[in-house]
Amino acid sequence: MARIIKDFLWNSGMTVEKMVEDFGSVGYQSIELHNASKVILKMKQSGSKVFLTFTSNMITSGLRGFFAQIVRLGMVDVIVTTSASIEEDIMKSLGEGFEVNSFSADDIALHERGENRIGNIVVRNESYMKFEDKIRIYLNKIYEKTLNINGQKKIYVSDLIKELGKLVFEDTKDENSFIYQTYKNNVPVFCPGIADSSIGFHLHLFCQEHPDFFVDVIGDCKNIIFASNYDEKKGLISLGGSISKHYAIFSGLLNGGFDYVVYLTTAHQSSGSVSGATTKEAMSWGKIKDNASAVTVYGDVTINFPLVMIPVLERLERDGMLENKK
């Protein structure tokens, strides 16, 4: 039976859950958003292994704390992200404040003040300097701890991030660090593009100074493949595009494809980009099973991700299915 469009009505004290429930019969992207929320609920109820991918601008934003929270609550099993996510998560744990600014800021003036803009958010040079001081200390600790086998201290990227998560918490006691929560909750974080950004540059400097230290980027492939298997149900929540999205769906392809998929993106399919590649296109590859529950929602992730997740959290809480709920 087809759903019929219903007149949306506000009621006093309206919750996010009620609004998204009503969105199912409102229109256009509100319908897709409702459907995406239902797919994530099914993903969890079916006991699927859940992959979450996001780009680093999500960590620049306040979603960083939300990612930490949903990891703590047991919503996610595997994360794939880009290199700047790691460095910015650490900056924030170190107490560096990112400021709200404007898309039409005077960028030359910002540059003169040592402020770097990401959309309508700015990050100060000082925040990078603080990160650089700390990452050297953390890398030294990780280096010391890493076993030397046949003259080489080898560490997978995902293990490096795990260690960083442990160290940043010991240092700062920040519960909102997503790399700390993934460490604590045993959720591997993959970052195939770790060589990019400030963290990539500092890894490079450190490796130059420590020729026996070997951060294994390519070999980490094994770990994402073994993070799920052919037989278990698998779900994917992909925020934005980029290498994070592709690495996750490629690993899914190697394990028979995903059963439940939600893409939140601003990119359209018209230019053949990964960011805009639809769930429908992914079916041609076997990245998504032909009978998968798959939804794409177009729009800004800082709005749409809380909207799709909150109703799932409310429902799972009522059903006693949330972990570590304090």
The interface with its own copies within residues 52-71 (CB under 8 A) comprises 55, 57-58, 60-66, 68-69
- CA neighbor of 308 nearest in space, from 33, 26, 69: 33
Closer by beta carbon to its own copies, 48 or else 83: 83
Residue entry with tokens 């230290």: 213
Residue numbers 17-46 binding its own copies by CB under 8 A: 17, 19, 22-33
Please select the residue that binds its own copies; options are 53, 242, 255, 293, rule is CB under 8 A.
242
Q: Tell me which residue of 86, 65, 276, 301 sits closest to 191, measured CA to CA.
A: 86
User: Which residue is catalytic, options 287, 289, 325, 326?
Assistant: 287
Q: Which is nearer to its own copies, 186 or 284 (CB)?
A: 284
**Shortest approach of its own copies to residue 213 CB, angstroms?**
10
299 part of the interface to its own copies, by CB under 8 A: yes
Give the Cα-Cα-Cα angle 119, 89, 77 (nearest 5 degrees).
110
Q: Which stretch binds its own copies (CB under 8 A): 41-49, 131-139, 162-170, 192-200?
A: 192-200
Q: Give how many residues touch its own copies by CB under 8 A.
A: 130
- Would you give the DSSP letter of residue 270? G
Closest CA to 86 of 146, 147, 145, 142: 142
CB atoms within 10 A of CB 150: 6
Q: Catalytic site residue 145?
A: no
| Interface characters, 143-182, with its own copies (x: CB under 8 A) | -------xxx-----------------------x------
Measured CA to CA, the distance from residue 215 to residue 195 in angstroms comes to 10
d(Cα 110, Cα 56) in Å, to the nearest integer?
21
